[in-house]
Amino acid sequence: MASPRLTIDVLTLFPGMFTGYFDESIMKRAREKGILELSIHNLRDWSTDRHRKADDKPYGGGAGMVMTAPVIHAAVESLKKRGSSVIFLSPQGKLFNQELAKDLSRARHLIFICGHYEGIDERVRELVVDQEISIGDYVISNGSLAAMLVIDATVRLVPGVVGDERSVQEDSFYRDILDYPHYTRPPVFQGIEAPKVLRSGDHEQVRRWRRREALRRTLERRPDLLAEARLSKEDRELIREIEEEKCT
């Protein structure tokens, strides 16, 4: 079998959290196709303590426990190879977005460190972490859930994972703006009719309608995205049309 396009190793104190999710849907198919090789590791397996401890009380006192440097360092060093990128899920990291997911999807080997308790010994950051990623300005119980989110967003961008890659390219944020509205049968439901243009068979009109509605939705819900979006001449014309409609 050919080498996987992406290998991911996850280091966590709670490997059971990952069972089920990665055995379903897109993640399962990616593994079955040999595109993704995913391994979930229990950090306690690298502990030399007879109780398999991976944490200790913080120097200087304070609430909670800190994950120890020797355990995490040993785990990372045993998994690293040439070209590996080590990622620590942390609220202090770079905010995760679609562009970062694209960058990660081009990697060959990713190692995720899932934090817990009050965090990790700072020396782990200095010795083995290549980048820190945050999924948002809020607190969750541990980094395992954050890792699942980042892995999902990343893996679906690896070529061959999603059957029809157009669906990935049309997702919200893939092209800097939000997605357009979607409709399917029946044509009328609860008195609301699906747009006639989508049922017209005119591919060019459908394409233009979808782009206009994606821009409209972005203007209404996330106007901040447009400041950084790569807009074409047509996009700017459509935005003018949308703004003129608002004034009438």
Give CA–CA dist 200/228, Å, rounded.
Answer: 33
Enumerate the active-site residues: 91, 118, 156, 171
Taking alpha carbons only, the member of 13, 22, 48 closest to residue 155 is: 22
Q: Which token pair is 107? A: 């990697």
Sheet holding 84-95, edge to edge: 36-42, 6-12, 109-114, 84-95, 131-134
CA distances from 3 to 33, 35, 36, 183 (A): 11, 8, 9, 39
Residue 102 is inside which H or E element, if any?
A: helix 98-105
- Measure the CA–CA gap between 98 and 30, rounded to whole angstroms: 19
